[in-house]
Structure 1
Amino acid sequence: MYVRVFAAAWLLACAGLALLAWGFEAPFAYDPVGPRAYPLLLLFLMACGSLWLLCKPHGDPTPAFDWAIARRAALCVLVLLAYSLLFEVLGFVITTALATFALGLLFNGRLLPCLISGVLMGVLLYGLFDLSLDVPLPLGVLRLLES
């Protein structure tokens, strides 16, 4: 019952925030998609999750609280917090590589595949966003290699 009340409240909050985000405009065009695409995408995904919680059948049992899963979720939040704090300092490529590596290990990935996928994610996503989509991303410490 409490889950459905929370889901309904969250769905209303998503709708209200989407109305606010729809009015986002930049005084100058700093990227091709504009400032409203990212918040609207996140709000859409959260609204889909709320709808699922509202409409899921009553017969599904709620799993018992598991400390291992809670610890893994907390570590995931800490990795994402570190990602946001180090994004400008270290730059997109290094921060994305480190976060991908850490999240891969957090979800029981093997060391070498996590390392390779982290480096590939950082480099390939930088190429996609900065070079293909013209979205400027910070280079951080790699700025020294640019010249």
Structure 2
Amino acid sequence: MSDRIFAVIWALLCIGGLIVGWQIHSEYSYEPVGPRPFPVVIMALMLLCSLMLLVRRPEKVDWPSATTLRRLLIMMLALVIYAWSFEWLGFALATALLTATLGLLFGARLPAALLSGAFLGIALWYAFDRLLDVTLPLGAWLPQ
């Protein structure tokens, strides 16, 4: 029953989000379609998911094991630290550390996690900063 209550509340919030998103207008056009489609599409997808949750037949769900809960807690903590240290450490280093941590949580060995974290941090920084021209922070520890 609690999943149905959640689905109804979430659907109402999504409808409110759709109303707010539809009212978004920009003084100037900086994208071909404007700023409205992204929030409207996201809210519509979330509304669809909440409606699917509302009409589905409930199944018996068991609580996850203590190991799984501990991993989820560590993952949430890693994401909070990533958001907190993003500007100070810079995108590349913060992303490398987050990727290595998540790799270790999913069973990677330490050298593989560190190598893939470093590669992903540098590759994503290059892709966003150089190819897509999205300015990302280098970090407070690097000379600007």
TM-score by length of 2: 0.76
Paired position in structure 1 for 2:57: 57
1:96-130 deviation per Cα after TM superposition (whole angstroms, max 9, x unaligned) = 00011111111222212211211121111111111
Contact 2:14-2:46 at 8 Å conserved across structures: yes
Deviation at 1:43, TM superposition (A): 4.8
- State the one-letter code of the partner of 1:127: Y
Paired position in structure 2 for 1:134: 133
1:10-52 deviation per Cα after TM superposition (whole angstroms, max 9, x unaligned) = 23223323443452759896x9998777766765665465344
Identity of aligned pairs, percent?
A: 39
Q: 1:96 to 1:68 in 2, by over 3 A?
A: same
The unaligned stretches of length 5 or more in structure 1 are none
Paired position in structure 1 for 2:12: 12
Q: Distance in 1 between matches of 2:27 and 2:101?
A: 34
Tell me: higher relative CO, structure 1 or 2? Use CA pairs within 8 A at least 6 residues apart: 1
- State the one-letter code of the partner of 1:50: S
Compute the RMSD of aligned alpha carbons.
3.2
- State the one-letter code of the partner of 1:2: S
Which sits farther off after the overlay, 42-51 or 134-143? 42-51
Which sits farther off after the overlay, 118-127 or 83-92? 118-127
Q: Distance in 2 between matches of 1:37 and 1:143?
A: 37
Contact 2:96-2:117 at 8 Å conserved across structures: yes
- State the one-letter code of the partner of 2:17: L
Q: Distance in 1 between matches of 2:114 and 2:84?
A: 21
Rg larger in 1 or in 2? 2
Contact 2:11-2:47 at 8 Å conserved across structures: yes
Alignment of 1:16-35 (within 5 A): 16-21=16-21, 23=24
1:72 maps to 2:71:
yes
The unaligned stretches of length 5 or more in structure 2 are none
Paired position in structure 1 for 2:3: 3
